[in-house]
Structure 1
Amino acid sequence: MKIILRVGLFFMICSCAMMPNKPEKINGVSFVASRDSINDTHIKPLLNIHANYAAIMPFGFIRELSHPEIMFNTNRQWFGETKVGVKQYVESLKKHHISIMIKPQIWVRRGEFTGGIKMTSEADWKVLEVSYSQFILEYAKVAQEVKAEIFCVGTELETFIDNRPEYWKQLISEIRKVYKGKLTYAANWNEYDRTPFWEQLDYIGMDAYFPVSDEQTPTVEACRKGWLKHKPTIKAFSEKYNKPILFAEYGYRSVDFAGKEPWRSDRDMNALNLEAQTNTMQVLFEEFWDEPWFAGGFVWKWFHNHEKSGGLYDDRFTPQNKPVEALIQAQYSKY
């Protein structure tokens, strides 16, 4: 009897050893700041989709694209956009073993694209540099305090970076002095190949709004063909720097032509199409999540009040309470 048990145990151990290791991926959500604190009720839907990471996004505000001063952590902001709110969100999420990326972002009045931030004088560039350093270093210290696993040094700031590359390299050195975790930058999909400081970071971060299909309802086949224009270049870029690719944001709206210009958030783009959102997302998962050079990503975007978010008549990015949520749940459960 003992011999039989030992033989059985031997084969069980061998079988386990022969099973492939389950790859570890960042299965993240971009957790939108709100007026309120969060609790277990708000976190349970993340656990239901098997999310293991959340991006927490405090905001700084600029009056216009040429204005050099950033306002942040004020009593006029929503709770989740401030230092106190960030800490409360992180502490609540970490209780449920959800890891954190802190991703401070700039909001330009009227929602203008942050990549267009550009000063009109050297004096204003200097003011912007001082102001941005204050903003980003303040939250780098918060990230260290709450033991956030990843810190994002900026999001879609291509013109700022193009014009002041040495400032950015020095800023990253300053961030390293106060924050000891992993660093990334969220480059826009058409910006990453000229970002000059990837050597200083741990992940090559991309906001993955790559155009993949011009079809009204993009088919899986069309989206897969569309990725052939981008994926080999992304892989080669990872190999060039020997760093993993992280989709700091990824996602599609539930509208017609969802794969044509996925970055668009125009309110007049409102022809509801849930299938378009599901097909584009399915192919993104199939093309990237199994790649060894791909770290994972953060779906754009996830609201704290799950029951009232998204839904079958919502045409925005959020996957909540739409067919694509089940797709994300199935995907995230694998890793």
Structure 2
Amino acid sequence: MKRLGLLCLCLFQLSCISQNAEKINGVSFVGSREKVSQEHVDPILDVKANYAAVMPFGFARHLNSPNVVFDTERQWYGETRQGAKQYIALLRKNGVKVMLKPQIWIWRGEFTGDLIMKSEEDWKTLEESYSKFILTYAKLAEETKAEIYCIGTELEEFVKNRPQFWKDLIVKVKNIYNGKLTYAANWDEYSRAPFWMELDYIGVDAYFPLTPERHPTIEQLKSGWQRWKTKLKSLAEKYEKPILFTEFGYRSMDYTGKKPWLVDENEMDVNLKAQADATTAIFEEFWREDWFAGGFVWKWFIHHNRSGGSTDNRFTPQNKPAENVIQSFFNDY
């Protein structure tokens, strides 16, 4: 009987370790002009992802525009409510869990964190417009039983100037949606967000500057993480909430760790090794930590065979050495 009890205890402990080790291993599944089919989902399964972020979009004309336009016939299919629902259905059919993450795109790609109104009237209009946007997709999140719902992405000025609106919005979302909630704060914003206690994950778009080196080593990249990692852990402990990298990734180019947030069309030399090494460094630094929930690779296109590749210096890891790094770590965790 003693041996049986000891065996049960060991199995229980192994079970707990396994549960604690399991991470959110996600990809940011980019909306396209068309419906997704099984051939588009298979590469996600091949890379061993257990989550995908589905990202419908709303649009604003400029940084001072109070109107969020969404779910229109002019949008790509994957950016609409109907498209998001179809994407989620096929992902779930394949056993892939979902974070529904509606986002805003500002004309000409201006940074959403700088969205700010010029009058109280415009702030009120923005609040009403954004509420419709977020509550529409909260209903979809509940309808599709999405595991996580993200209430906003990189909206620092909006959050800073209207904190009560955001707290009220969270209450409204919780009246509709029963799953886990997060917000995707930019890497230089997350520590100031006022509502982490009301959410389930501290969401961070993890484009932290790590090193100014043109050809950084894994050791240099990991060293660059230390000051950020300490702050992230402290915040997780303060709020007793796990950190979730709502986006993480690197350009496959020289200086990949210098300003990882860059999305410009610069002609920096392709550097596939730097992307793979930076990806290795972030996995080795975070995926073993019990206060860290996991993250979503930025970004993954549905047409895998023609995405990324050896001449591409953009974010996607598809058909690059970084894809193999991701597959290896996703498989381990």
Report what 1:138 is aligned to.
Answer: 136
Could you tell me how far 1:271 is from its partner in structure 2? 1.4
Q: Are positions 1:125 and 2:148 aligned together?
A: no
In 1, Cα distance between equivalents of 2:271 and 2:204: 25
In 1, Cα distance between equivalents of 2:216 and 2:135: 42
Q: Decide whether aligned partners of structure 1 residues 10 and 178 sit closer, same or farther in structure 2, where only a CA change above 3 A counts.
A: closer
TM-score for both structures, normalised by structure 1? 0.95
In 2, Cα distance between equivalents of 1:11 and 1:246: 35
Kindly provide the amino acid, as one letter, of the partner of residue 97 in structure 2.
S
Q: Greater Rg, structure 1 or structure 2?
A: 1
Kindly provide the amino acid, as one letter, of the partner of residue 138 in structure 1.
T
Q: Decide whether aligned partners of structure 1 residues 50 and 200 sit closer, same or farther in structure 2, where only a CA change above 3 A counts.
A: same
In 2, Cα distance between equivalents of 1:12 and 1:115: 54
In 1, Cα distance between equivalents of 2:9 and 2:159: 53
**Residue in structure 2 matching 1:240, options 232, 238, 243:** 238
Query: Which SS does the other structure have where 1:178 is aligned?
Result: coil
Could you tell me how far 1:168 is from its partner in structure 2? 0.5
Report what 1:44 is aligned to.
Answer: 42
- Report % sequence identity: 56
Report what 1:304 is aligned to.
Answer: 302
TM-score for both structures, normalised by structure 2? 0.96
Report what 1:116 is aligned to.
Answer: 114
Report what 2:166 is aligned to.
Answer: 168
Kindly provide the amino acid, as one letter, of the partner of residue 322 in structure 1.
K
Kindly provide the amino acid, as one letter, of the partner of residue 249 in structure 1.
E
Could you tell me how far 1:16 is from its partner in structure 2? 5.4
Q: How many residues align?
A: 329
Moved over 3 A (4+): 9-21
Query: Which SS does the other structure have where 2:175 is aligned?
Result: helix
**Unmatched 5+ stretches in structure 2:** none
Kindly provide the amino acid, as one letter, of the partner of residue 259 in structure 1.
G
**Residue in structure 1 matching 2:94, options 72, 75, 96:** 96
Query: Which SS does the other structure have where 2:25 is aligned?
Result: strand
In 1, Cα distance between equivalents of 2:34 and 2:43: 17
Summarize deviations over 1:257-294 as a string: whole Å, max 9, x none: 00000000111143111111011111100000010000
Kindly provide the amino acid, as one letter, of the partner of residue 165 in structure 2.
Y
Kindly provide the amino acid, as one letter, of the partner of residue 112 in structure 2.
T
Kindly provide the amino acid, as one letter, of the partner of residue 187 in structure 1.
A
Kindly provide the amino acid, as one letter, of the partner of residue 43 in structure 1.
V
**Unmatched 5+ stretches in structure 1:** 1-8
In 2, Cα distance between equivalents of 1:135 and 1:50: 32
Could you tell me how far 1:13 is from its partner in structure 2? 7.5
Could you tell me how far 1:18 is from its partner in structure 2? 6.8
The root-mean-square deviation of aligned C-alpha atoms, in Å, is 1.7
Q: Are positions 1:313 and 2:311 aligned together?
A: yes
